[in-house]
Amino acid sequence: VGAGFAGLYMLHNAHGLGLRAEVIERGDGVGGTWYWNRYPGARCDVPSMEYSFGFDHQLEQEWEWTEKYATQAEILAYVEHVADRFDLRADITLSTTVEACRFDDSTGRWVVTASDGVTRVARFVVMATGCLSAANVPDIEGRDGFAGRTFHTGRWPHEGVDFSGRRVAVIGTGSSAVQSIPFIAAEADQVSVFQRTATWAVPAHNEPLDLAAVAEIKADYANWRQKARDSSSAFGGYYPRREVSALDADEAELAEQYDERWEVGGLSFLRAYNDLLLDERANATAAAYIRGKIAELVDDPETAALLSPDTIVGCKRLCVDTDYYATFNRPNVRLIDVSSDPIERIDAAGPVVGGMLHEVDDIVFATGFDAMTGALERIAIEGRRGRPLRDAWSAGPVTYLGLQVAGFPNLFTITGPGSPSVLTNMIASIEQHVEWITDAIVALDAGGFRTIEPADEAQDRWVGYVNEI
Ligand code: NAP
């Protein structure tokens, strides 16, 4: 289910095993995340040389990325290329939503029903539905009565949106907002950003790829991919983690190291020291540095203070920006703090905060997703004896390796809850899971078994391990 990176690679492997397989996809094209998220400025924050499939030598040698961080359009073109190159399209059914998957105890098969009215019966069901695919549009009173246009970053119109001459509200300040606000501000008359929690951002310093550097990586790609698989975030070939504690560095060393990482740009900032994500005092040194940068970059001290987070850097995934903070120096951009005083309601003319109406023509919901479980829980999944997945997860999602759920035989969740997933380079994590599922199917058949599912104890152990981390 799903024709993003995960579904396509799974289909390719199913073909390799000689299985009959079908991918069912809600969108009218392949690409998943990169099909839906077309908001202005959308790019990946993992370098393109690493955010790409490593399973096929010819593919990785022949494909040419043009920038250090690929745009949404370039990644979508890559996914399309993969679908064509590996002859996947014939087994992909587009514009079709899977509604229910029910395990039939008597036959040991899954019965899958979908919006096209066709019932499919399958031995295996692989949920390649993504971690961040079910859009979250907050249920603010009056939302549907707003007179202007509304958009969600993860459901962006394919034809693009013209904001010129418009007054725009952007709700949210996560990665999608951080990437899109500078673009919207460059076009619109006025932009009001509604911030509930300030976000940490480090500069991308995106640039065209240097051909010589690309050739060097390609000559050593197998080694790069292996290093990615061996690292906790599944990437980091450019600037690996320094195995030094921030607590052993004096002020001058900290400044020098953080300056260097700031200049390099991107998520490697968090790899400046090995304890930034393990020790609160170490983390505080990075936080102090970024707050200092925000104070330098933002002219108005009050706005700079509001933009400065008081949270752990990198606990929520760090944002990678191009001109985000500086955008608040533009005369047409305002920051509205909704941390203690939330958006009360949305009037026909715009959002109301603290009794004050902010009149706008358009509202952009950069409000994220029903993350990790949303896409799965929107499908009626029933395992053994008709037990709904929602029941199994009523106290929170439980899985084994993030890949399977006890009581749901032969159902797999690629990058499911309880796996590293969004804390990593997703493509590497997807490849690992798809290869695990492929191996499991081979092992089942070799051993003459019909189904595979985790034992309750194994699942409990895994959940305990994840919670401990
Ligand atoms: P997000 O990180 O969940 O951000 C949603 C934002 O909306 C937050 O600032 C949230 O505030 C705010 N919000 C939600 N409901 C609200 C309400 N009722 N009132 C006011 N504010 C509200 O979503 P996202 O930016 O789409 O990013 C999701 C994930 O996608 C990221 O963590 C990242 O993993 C990935 N992503 C990656 C890239 C990239 O590769 N460059 C780009 C975009 C997204 P609170 O923080 O207070 O909840």
pLDDT, tens digit, 9 for 90 and up, residues 359-383: 999 999 999 999 999 999 999 999 9
Q: Ligand 1 centre and the CA of 306: distance in Å?
A: 17
Residue 138 alpha carbon, nearest atom of ligand 1 = 18
pLDDT band for position 238 (cuts 50, 70, 90): confident
State the pLDDT at residue 239.
83
Q: Which residue has the tokens 């399309």?
A: 80
Closest CA to 325 of 344, 346, 309, 342: 309
**Probe residue for ligand 1, chosen from 67, 310, 318, 367 as the CB with the greatest number of ligand atoms within 8 Å:** 367
pLDDT tens per residue, range 424-447: 999 999 999 999 999 999 999 999
Distance from residue 371's CA to the centre of ligand 1 (Å): 10
pLDDT at 240: 84
What are the tens digits of pLDDT across the range 167-184?
Answer: 999 999 999 999 999 999
Residue nearest to atom 33 of ligand 1 (CA): 175
Residue 237's pLDDT band (boundaries 50, 70, 90)? confident
Question: Residue 232: pLDDT above 90?
Answer: no
Buried b (16+ CB within 10 A) or exposed e, 365-398: bbbbbbbbbbbbbebebbbeeeeebeebbeeebb
Element housing 442 (H / E):
helix 426-447
HSE-up of residue 80 (Cα within 13 Å, Cβ side) = 10
Per-residue confidence (pLDDT) for residue 236, from 0 to 100: 85
Strand 201-203 with 319-321, pairing: parallel
> pLDDT digits over 121-158, tens only?
999 999 999 999 999 999 999 999 999 999 999 999 99
Beta strands 98-104 and 380-382: pairing type? Answer: parallel
Residue 407 token pair:
């009581």
CA of 37 to the centre of ligand 1 (A): 13
The confidence score (pLDDT) of residue 79 equals: 98
Pocket of ligand 1 (CB under 6 A): 43-45, 132, 138, 140, 153, 171-177, 179, 194, 196-197, 317, 320, 338, 343, 366-368, 422
User: Residue 358: pLDDT band by 50, 70, 90 thresholds?
Assistant: very high
State yes or no: pLDDT of 217 exceeds 90: yes
Nearest alpha carbon, ligand 1 atom 26: 368
For the stretch 270-325, pLDDT in tens is 999 999 999 999 999 999 999 999 999 999 999 999 999 999 999 998 999 999 99
Whether the pLDDT of residue 469 is over 90: the answer is no
350 close to 166: Cβ distance less than 8 angstroms: no
Question: Ligand 1 centre from 365 Cα, in Å?
Answer: 10
pLDDT for 405? 98
CA of 102 to the centre of ligand 1 (A): 32
Q: Which of 46, 52, 132 to mutate to test the pocket of ligand 1 (most atoms within 8 A of CB)?
A: 132
